[in-house]
Structure formats: structure tokens, C-alpha cells
């Protein structure tokens, strides 16, 4: 992102925080910081530095700027009482809206109702985001983009040895996400075609700007939902009761042959030759088969180019449009299949690159059981957090629901306890902007009161963490180039079992290391080859290099990674290469292998693999968010490790913050050791005294 855009975003965020004090005056009760009540100890009691009045006030009664937004797209907000209900009864900070209605963006009546609704939200001093689609995936504008413009539809290059010619271009719809999702089966525009994205912007983003007028600058962000290159078989929806309810806007062709395919655009051969001075036609056989160095090179070049085109022709176009309006909405949203690095090849090319074109990169979290963090969801969070850090940003969006609980097991909504613990690990992972699909009702244990309690809980997390900087000393190498080299399109559902042994080795090692670092309370970021290059003496992106050099101290390479010699700008920067001959199998292996590169962390004694932890720094203090993701209580001593020996604290005691109750407790410490007792699925925040450097 160039300096003008960084300055613009910095200005926006600054205005955001200035506005928060006005919100707090309206929504927060007065707090007397000198009083002790119900176990809340005066913060200056032991001589520990006093937290700022703003921090104290906002934590105890979070203003709306820190609270979640409810996704109500398609709903009618033209009655002020409806908006006030969400604000006053449900405790929300804002709403995610769109024009809605049966005719979606085609109806003047729908637009008038929508504008009235936004005016009501603004009058209620609530936050406003715009969801940019009628359902998902984004880019279709509810079918409008393709109306009268079939040439803008998604394309795929298929391989069929029985066809003449064996490599040929066809429409991309059947067997893809656009025909296998739980919203609607409908044809999808081509994100690799800049004209498709431009039409999407014209009928969506530009129309919102025109209809809203002066209200447009009250909108914080556009939320784009699961755009992707489509030519990939993700499998069909397994739950028959769900699949049977999905409307088919565009019928499926039962005669279409299931084949290996890759995404395509009309000018791809020209762009390939322009970038590599090589013929794409000559490289086509290598895209689908072959183990030679030339085959791997062709695949890497192809997927690198496709990823760059996807980034430039979809994400960058939307971000550039957002930046046209000073103090207007910024670009946000999330991608598809965030937790599966193999699928990121055909869907994104390189997920880090596309996420870096969001001003507020985001994630999708359909599972509100916090233990799911260890089973892939750590990766879903690591990608947008890394993208934010690499682009010099702090905010990170999460779309959160209990979809998994509603479609599996007892098929009941998540409890407040599960919702809060899930929010805890997401905040520990960097999330700041919560977009809720949680229903207010639906069970006797879910109502306005519990919704408000959840919103206050998230607000307290943000009151502490949104103005804190993540501390992530360790990098886990994102082996996207190796996966690009190895990836072979297949006709069936794509998975590691129909890929090469090297793919299985890379994916398994990456997942074990990521989950293992999490099990030993080690916060980390991801890095592709481009990121690593910017930590060397010859960076490829000087602006990014200036932001990130000095932030990290080590990189861990999963098994199967290609060895490259780096000339690090920091002579003490460490490389750790995971052995293919002796691969790591368990989180205990990870703990032993990487114990000396953790960065600052609080670790329980003995080790406890059910604590999710995030490390931050604010006002010269270390801030640790610790979440017990299992229902069992645990009591332990936690030891601070990973800080330089010459750094000391100017006081002995820490402060413990409880986002559920709002309690702030003085916490005695000795030699960096604090005693902690955590309930099942509880989140606690531990704030150190100020560091002396």
C-alpha cells in the first residue's frame, strides 16, 4: 500500500478513536477509579503503574466503537425503533446492512428504505458497515453483473485426453463453490476479468455512494464475502436437509463432464508471455502432470500469475475505489477456505497477497466451540493478522456464527460461555471488528440479555487490545510456492490424498507446527518468500521492509520447504528447518524443537496445551490474553519468558482483567511468575508493569 493510502487509513483510525470518547460519554457510566468494590482492587494499591483513565473507563463500560456489529443484511431498518432495539436491548455497537429486498439493487423503493435505515443507524450513533452482495460469494451483485453480460462469466481451462483439443476453455460453474454453497446456486462472474469487477463496482459500490450522498462517509467499510477463483471442486454439501433447501437460480448441466480444471481469463496467454517471456500453450501439459523441474517451474509461474491477476483485478480494484473518497468506507471482508493451505492455490494463488489488499483483513468463523482453534482455525486467524501487520495496520475483522453447532451434533445454538470463549481466542489472535451472525433468540438460553453480555465482553477485549500492538517474534513459513509447484488439478474433490507425497508432507508439517506452537502459548505470524525477502539486505519492497524489519527474530520452515540462502539484515535472525527424515509428530515435539524462539509468553507449569494465548504491547506494558478453551478449571503458576535479560519491570505487581465481569484485580508477581486460576472456557487478560529498557 502506498504512503497516501497508509496516511488515509491512519487518519480514519485516529478519527475512530477520537469518536470513541464521545460514544463513551453517552453509553458509559461514570467510573470512580479510586473505589474498591466486590474484589476489584485499586490499581495503584501496590505501586503498579496506574492504567489510564480512558483505558479504565472503556474497559468497565465499553463504548460502541469497541462493540460488535450485527449482520442484518436484507432487513428493514427504516423504523428507528428497530435500530434502537439492537442498540439498547442487544448491546451492539453497529449494524452490517445492505439494500436488501426481493429486487435487491434493482428497486428504487428498496434504495429509499435502505437510505432511511442508514440515517436511523447514524442518528442512533451506531457504526455502519455495508455487505456488498445479495448473499455470497461476492462479485455477482445478486446476478446483476451477468445480466446481459454472459461474457463476464467465470471461465476454466479443462483437460480431457478424449477431447479434441485436449485443453479447452469452457464456462466455470458446475462442481464449484458457486454451485455448491448453502445460499444459492448461481453462475459467477470472473474475478480474473477486470471488466467483471468494474461492473460489480458500478452497480454496487458506486451505487451506494450515489444513493447515500453525505451519509456515505458515515459508512466504515465494505464487507466482501468469499470471493474466489472458481475452478476447483470443493465437493458437494454433505447434509441432505441443507442441500435440499438451496435454490438453484441457474440450473446444473447434468451432461457436463467432471474434469481437471484451472481458472482462466481470455488474456492469460498474453499476460503469461509478458511476465515470463515463455509460451503458456507450451506449458499447459505441465499444469496437469509431470515431475520434472520444468513442470514444477511452469506450475509455480502459472499460479503466481493467476494470484497476482486475482489480486489486481478484484481486491485491488475494490480497494482503489474505496480510497477515491476521503474518509469514506474502506475495504474489508474475508476469503474462502482460510484454514486449508492446499486449497489456497486454486482459489487465491497466494492468500497473503490478496488479504494485503484489504484495509481491514478478515476471517470467517463458523464454529463457536473454542477447542476448534487447535484444529485448523488458528490458521484462519493467522492469515488476516499477518496481512494486517505486513501492511502496517491493526484492525482485523471476523465474521462469527455458530453455524457448526446448528448443523451438527445436538443442532442447538451455542451457549454464551462458548460464544465468549470463541471471542476470547479470536481477540488473542488479533481480531478487533466482530460481525455477528448469532441470532438473538433461538433458545431459552439465548436472548437480548445474553446478547448484550456478549457484546460487552467483546467490548472489554477491544478496549484493552485495539490500541495494543501484537507481539509476534516467530514466523511460520507459508509454503505457497512449494504448493504451487506441486499442485495438480483433479476432477474429484481436491484434497491432500489426491496430491503428491510432498504436498502431504508440507501440509501436515505446516499444520503440526502451527497447532504445536499454539499449544505452547507461542504467538506467531506467517511469511511467504516475499515477506522473507523483505527481512534481508536486498528487500523487494522497501516500504514493507521498513515496517517489518526488527519485528521478528526467527522463522520456522515446515518439512518439504525448498532451502534458499538468505542474507538477513539482522545477523541474529534464526532459521529453523524442519527435517523430512525426522518430522515433528506432536505438539510436544514442537515445544522441544522451538523452545528458544518463542518471544514473550506466559507459560503454565506444568505445560497445559489447552491455553490459547496472544501477546501484545500497550503503553510500555506487555498484555497477554489467555483463554482456557476446555470446560475444566485449571490452576497454575505462569512464568514470563522470552524477553531480553536487560528488560526489567518498574514494579512487582501485574493487573488481571476479566472481560466477563469487568473486574480489575491487582496480581502479585515474583520474578515474572504469577499465580492464575482459570475457570473452564474463561478468558483473562494479564497486564504487566511498565517495562524498563
- At 564-607, the pLDDT tens digits run 999 999 999 999 999 988 889 999 999 889 988 888 999 999 99
Over 479-505, what HEC string results? Answer: CHHHHHHHCCCCCCCCCHHHCCHHHHH
Nearest-angstrom CA–CA distance, 156 and 170:
6
What is residue 239's predicted lDDT score, i.e. its pLDDT? 66
Nearest-angstrom CA–CA distance, 224 and 315:
9
Tell me how crowded residue 109 is: count the other CB atoms within 10 A of its CB.
9
The residue among 475, 515, 467, 476 whose CA lies nearest residue 623 is: 467
| Residue given cell 521492509 in the structure block | 545
Cell numbers standing for residue 124? 442512533
**Greatest alpha-carbon span in the chain:** 82
What is residue 647's predicted lDDT score, i.e. its pLDDT? 81
Average pLDDT of the residues in 258-262: 98
Average pLDDT of the residues in 657-666: 94
Q: Which residue has the higher pLDDT, 646 or 179?
A: 179
Cell numbers standing for residue 82? 428497530
Cell numbers standing for residue 584? 515433528
Nearest-angstrom CA–CA distance, 325 and 127:
18
Nearest-angstrom CA–CA distance, 263 and 173:
11
The residue among 444, 457, 380, 373 whose CA lies nearest residue 417 is: 457
Average pLDDT of the residues in 138-158: 97
The mean-pLDDT minimum among 142-146, 232-236, 421-425 falls in: 232-236
How far is CA 421 from each of CA 189, 344, 424, 635, 681, rounded to the nearest angstrom? 38, 28, 5, 18, 5
CB 378 within 8 A of CB 515: yes
Over 411-433, what HEC string results? Answer: CCCCCHHHHHHHHHHHHHCCCCE
What is residue 672's predicted lDDT score, i.e. its pLDDT? 82
Q: Which residue has the higher pLDDT, 31 or 534?
A: 534
Cell numbers standing for residue 681? 472456557
| Secondary element (H or E) of residue 677 | strand 673-678
| Residue given cell 476454466 in the structure block | 156
Q: Which residue has the higher pLDDT, 108 or 32?
A: 108
What is residue 32's predicted lDDT score, i.e. its pLDDT? 33
Q: Which residue has the higher pLDDT, 618 or 408?
A: 618
| pLDDT of 12 above 80 | no
Nearest-angstrom CA–CA distance, 112 and 124:
19
Tens of pLDDT, residues 503-558: 999 999 999 999 999 999 999 999 999 999 999 999 999 999 999 999 999 999 99
Tell me how crowded residue 441 is: count the other CB atoms within 10 A of its CB.
11
Q: Is 114 exposed, middle or buried (0-12, 13-18, 19+ CB in 10 A)?
A: buried
Average pLDDT of the residues in 323-339: 96
Nearest-angstrom CA–CA distance, 653 and 658:
16
CB 667 within 8 A of CB 638: no
Tens of pLDDT, residues 306-318: 999 999 999 999 9
Average pLDDT of the residues in 17-38: 33
What is residue 3's predicted lDDT score, i.e. its pLDDT? 33
How far is CA 83 from each of CA 1, 70, 408, 518, rounded to the nearest angstrom? 36, 11, 32, 40
Collapse the DSSP code of 361 into the 3-class scheme (helix H, G, I; strand E, B; otherwise coil) and give the result: strand
What is residue 10's predicted lDDT score, i.e. its pLDDT? 35
What is residue 382's predicted lDDT score, i.e. its pLDDT? 98
> If pLDDT is split at 50, 70 and 90, which confidence band does 26 have?
very low
Percent of the chain beyond pLDDT 70? 92
- For the CA atoms of the chain, what is the radius of gyration? 25
Nearest-angstrom CA–CA distance, 221 and 217:
10
> If pLDDT is split at 50, 70 and 90, which confidence band does 47 have?
very low
| pLDDT of 459 above 90 | yes
Nearest-angstrom CA–CA distance, 607 and 600:
16
CA 65 to chain centre: 19
CB 402 within 8 A of CB 414: yes
| Confidence (pTM) | 0.92
| pLDDT of 8 above 80 | no
Tens of pLDDT, residues 477-491: 999 999 999 999 999
Tens of pLDDT, residues 183-209: 888 999 999 999 999 999 999 999 999
Cα dihedral 607, 613, 616, 621 sign: negative
Tens of pLDDT, residues 212-227: 999 999 999 999 999 9
| pLDDT of 27 above 60 | no
CA 545 to chain centre: 22
CB-based burial, 119-158: b 16+ in 10 Å, e otherwise? bbbbebbbbbbbbbbbbbbbbbbbbbbbeeeeebbbbbbb
Q: Which residue has the higher pLDDT, 22 or 265?
A: 265
CB 318 within 8 A of CB 280: no
Apex 57 CA angle, 49 and 626, nearest 5: 65
Q: Tell me: cis bond preceding 137? Omega within 30 of 0 counts.
A: yes
| pLDDT of 494 above 60 | yes
What is the rounded average pLDDT for all residues in the chain?
A: 91
| Secondary element (H or E) of residue 639 | strand 634-641
Per DSSP (E only), the strands in 215-367 are 221-225, 261-264, 330-334, 360-365
Per DSSP (E only), the strands in 302-359 are 330-334
| Secondary element (H or E) of residue 641 | strand 634-641
What is residue 23's predicted lDDT score, i.e. its pLDDT? 34
What is residue 50's predicted lDDT score, i.e. its pLDDT? 57
What is residue 225's predicted lDDT score, i.e. its pLDDT? 96
Nearest-angstrom CA–CA distance, 336 and 212:
30
| pLDDT of 18 above 50 | no
The residue among 456, 407, 594 whose CA lies nearest residue 518 is: 594
Which residues have C-beta within 8 Å of that of residue 112, sequence separation ≥ 6? Answer: none
CB 197 within 8 A of CB 109: no
Average pLDDT of the residues in 339-358: 97
| Secondary element (H or E) of residue 270 | helix 268-276
Cell numbers standing for residue 597? 524462539
Percent of the chain beyond pLDDT 90? 81
Cell numbers standing for residue 654? 501485574
Q: Which long-range contacts (CB under 8 A, 24 or more apart) does 172-175 make?
A: 172/230, 172/231, 172/261, 172/263, 172/264, 173/230, 173/250, 173/252, 173/253, 174/252, 174/253, 174/256, 174/258, 175/233, 175/256, 175/258
Nearest-angstrom CA–CA distance, 8 and 439:
35
What is residue 653's predicted lDDT score, i.e. its pLDDT? 86
What is residue 478's predicted lDDT score, i.e. its pLDDT? 98
Tens of pLDDT, residues 266-323: 999 999 999 999 999 999 999 999 999 999 999 999 999 999 999 999 999 999 999 9
What is residue 11's predicted lDDT score, i.e. its pLDDT? 33
| pLDDT of 22 above 70 | no
How far is CA 615 from each of CA 470, 557, 655, 672, rounded to the nearest angstrom? 6, 22, 15, 15
Nearest-angstrom CA–CA distance, 180 and 185:
6
Amino acid at each position: 500500500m502506498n504512503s497516501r493510502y497508509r496516511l488515509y487509513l491512519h487518519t480514519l483510525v485516529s478519527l475512530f478513536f477520537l469518536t470513541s470518547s464521545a460514544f463513551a460519554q453517552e453509553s458509559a457510566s461514570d467510573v470512580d477509579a479510586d473505589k474498591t468494590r466486590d474484589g476489584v482492587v485499586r490499581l495503584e494499591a501496590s505501586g503498579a503503574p496506574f492504567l489510564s483513565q480512558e483505558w479504565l473507563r472503556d474497559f468497565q463500560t465499553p463504548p460502541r466503537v469497541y462493540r460488535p456489529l450485527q449482520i442484518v443484511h436484507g432487513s428493514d431498518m427504516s423504523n428507528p425503533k428497530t435500530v434502537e432495539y439492537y442498540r439498547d436491548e442487544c448491546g451492539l455497537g453497529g449494524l452490517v446492512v445492505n439494500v436488501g429486498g426481493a429486487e435487491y439493487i434493482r428497486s428504487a423503493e428498496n434504495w429509499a428504505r435502505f437510505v432511511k435505515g442508514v440515517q436511523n443507524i447514524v442518528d442512533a450513533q451506531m457504526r455502519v458497515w455495508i455487505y456488498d452482495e445479495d448473499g455470497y460469494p461476492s462479485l455477482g451483485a445478486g446476478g446483476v453483473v451477468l445480466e446481459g453480460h454472459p461474457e463476464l462469466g467465470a471461465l476454466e481451462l479443462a483437460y480431457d485426453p478424449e477431447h479434441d483439443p485436449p485443453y479447452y476453455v469452457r464456462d466455470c460453474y458446475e462442481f464449484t463453490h458457486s454451485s455448491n454453497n448453502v445460499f444459492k446456486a448461481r453462475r459467477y462472474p470472473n474475478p480474473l476479468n477486470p471488466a467483471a469487477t468494474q461492473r460489480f463496482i458500478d452497480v454496487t459500490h458506486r451505487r451506494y455512494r450515489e444513493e447515500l450522498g453525505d451519509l456515505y462517509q458515515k459508512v466504515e467499510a465494505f464487507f466482501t464475502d468469499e470471493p474466489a477463483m472458481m475452478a476447483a471442486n470443493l465437493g458437494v454439501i454433505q447434509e441432505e436437509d441443507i442441500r435440499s433447501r438451496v435454490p438453484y437460480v441457474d440450473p446444473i448441466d447434468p451432461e457436463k463432464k467432471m474434469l481437471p480444471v484451472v481458472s482462466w481469463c481470455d488474456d492469460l496467454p498474453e499476460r503469461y508471455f509478458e511476465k515470463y517471456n515463455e509460451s503458456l500453450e507450451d506449458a499447459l501439459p505441465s499444469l496437469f502432470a509431470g515431475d520434472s523441474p520444468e513442470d514444477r517451474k511452469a506450475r509455480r509461474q502459472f499460479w503466481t500469475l493467476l494470484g497476482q491477476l486475482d489480486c489486481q483485478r478484484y481486491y485491488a480494484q475494490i480497494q482503489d475505489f474505496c480510497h477515491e473518497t476521503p474518509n469514506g468506507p474502506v475495504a474489508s471482508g474475508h476469503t474462502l477456505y482460510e484454514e486449508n493451505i492446499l486449497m489456497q492455490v486454486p482459489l487465491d494463488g497466494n492468500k497473503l497477497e490478496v488479504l494485503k489488499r484489504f484495509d481491514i483483513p478478515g476471517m470467517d468463523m463458523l464454529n463457536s466451540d473454542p477447542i476448534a482453534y487447535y484444529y485448523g482455525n488458528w490458521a484462519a486467524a493467522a492469515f488476516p493478522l499477518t496481512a494486517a501487520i505486513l501492511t502496517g495496520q491493526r484492525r482485523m475483522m471476523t465474521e462469527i456464527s455458530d453455524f457448526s453447532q446448528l448443523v451438527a451434533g445436538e443442532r442447538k445454538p451455542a451457549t454464551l460461555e462458548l460464544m465468549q470463549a470463541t471471542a476470547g481466542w479470536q481477540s488473542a489472535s488479533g481480531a478487533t471488528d466482530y460481525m455477528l451472525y448469532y441470532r438473538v433468540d433461538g433458545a431459552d438460553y439465548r436472548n437480548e440479555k445474553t446478547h448484550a453480555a456478549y457484546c460487552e465482553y467483546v467490548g472489554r477485549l477491544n478496549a484493552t487490545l485495539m490500541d495494543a500492538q501484537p507481539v509476534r517474534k516467530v514466523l511460520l513459513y507459508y509454503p505457497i510456492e512449494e504448493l504451487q509447484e506441486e499442485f495438480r488439478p483433479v476432477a474429484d474433490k481436491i484434497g491432500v490424498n489426491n496430491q503428491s507425497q510432498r504436498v502431504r508432507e508440507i501440509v501436515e508439517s505446516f499444520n503440526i507446527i502451527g497447532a504445536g506452537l499454539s499449544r505452547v502459548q507461542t504467538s506467531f505470524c506467517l511469511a511467504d518468500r516475499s515477506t522473507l525477502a523483505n527481512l534481508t539486505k536486498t528487500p523487494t519492497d522497501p516500504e514493507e521492509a521498513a515496517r517489518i524489519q526488527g519485528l521478528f527474530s526467527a522463522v520456522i520452515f515446515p518439512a518439504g520447504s525448498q532451502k534458499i540462502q538468505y542474507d538477513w539484515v539482522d545477523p541474529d535472525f534464526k532459521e529453523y528447518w524442519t527435517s523430512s527424515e525426522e518430522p515433528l509428530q506432536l505438539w510436544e515435539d514442537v515445544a522441544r524443537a522451538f523452545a528458544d524462539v518463542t518471544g514473550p509468553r506466559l507459560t503454565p507449569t506444568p505445560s497445559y496445551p489447552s491455553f490459547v494465548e496472544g501477546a501484545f504491547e500497550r503503553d510500555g506494558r506487555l498484555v497477554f490474553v489467555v483463554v482456557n478453551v476446555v470446560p475444566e478449571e485449571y490452576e497454575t503458576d505462569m512464568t514470563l519468558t522470552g524477553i531480553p535479560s536487560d528488560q526489567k519491570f518498574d514494579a512487582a505487581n501485574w493487573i488481571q482483567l476479566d472481560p466477563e465481569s469487568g473486574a480489575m484485580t491487582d496480581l502479585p508477581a515474583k520474578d515474572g511468575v504469577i499465580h492464575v486460576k482459570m475457570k473452564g472456557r474463561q478468558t483473562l487478560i494479564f497486564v504487566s508493569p511498565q517495562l524498563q529498557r
